[in-house]
Amino acid sequence: MKINRIAVIGAGNMGHQIALHAAISGFKVKCFDINTETLKKADQFVDEYLPGRVAKERLTQAQADVARANIHFTNSLETAVSDADYVVEAVLEVLDIKRALFKDLDRLAPPHAILASNSSAIVSSKIADVTSRPEKVLNLHFFNPALVMKLVEVVQGPHVSDETLEISMALCKQLNKEPVHLKKEVEGFLLNRIFGAIGREANWLLEMGVASVEDIDKACVFGAGHPMGPFRLNDLTGLDLSYIMAMEAFRASGDPADLPTPSLVEHYSKGEFGEKSGKGWYEYGDK
């Protein structure tokens, strides 16, 4: 199956970047969100990003014009997916929300369309059963920022057909990404499991008063050669996302060890979500 039209569900930070990257790569893209303000910000981002790439000579003006024409934002889910060959969901990491959404996607999208979740934590086998096409439902996990990061995790749960896997791997390559094939579903997939182990230790060291946020990050950067430390990375990906994921994990397991740490709860309760709010583990001011 040839992919021509892509729908991205959710116009937040991940969603609008996935949509724009697909548009730059030559696909016709419709990006949906229920929030009008989110759609407006996403549209403005496109209008600012493309001229910036032209100014830096990363795109020609003609390429930027084609990309701009390729991407459309809408608050109608039916409009977004009615002619889609491939759908990428990028909404909140809450299982009930995703299950309700995929039920609607199955009803509104063409029978041939593949329905992918960009979830970084919720495996597709927890969603696929609400659709009539479980063999076409999988995880396609991009990394933040999606316009820059090359890695995409393609997760083949027990319900996912080989054809769906092959189409998804080929799509990633058309998007100039580096796909990795997960042969089994596992919570957190590949990279987040590795980062999760680092993050748990970093948070323990902070909560126990062993070292500061800054010094823990320095140890990872200057000792382990990481491009940024776990707290700086968390500011980039969003403390709100970390909080929501931790709460979802706790609801599923009932294990208090899965609860967000006291420091994370404090930041979350103050609306300090990282770079996007101007403050998280670090302060960013008006950046």
| Residues carrying an active site annotation | 120, 141, 153, 192
Helix (H), strand (E), coil (C) string for 82-149: CCCCEEEECCCCCHHHHHHHHHHHHHHCCCCCEEEECCCCCCHHHCHHHCCCHHHEEEEEECCCCCCC
Burial code (b: 16+ CB inside 10 Å, e: under 16) for 161-193 equals: beebbebbbebbeebebebbebeebeebbeebe
Tell me the C-alpha distance between 256 and 247, whole Å. Answer: 10
For CA atoms 89, 91, 93, 98, the dihedral sign is negative
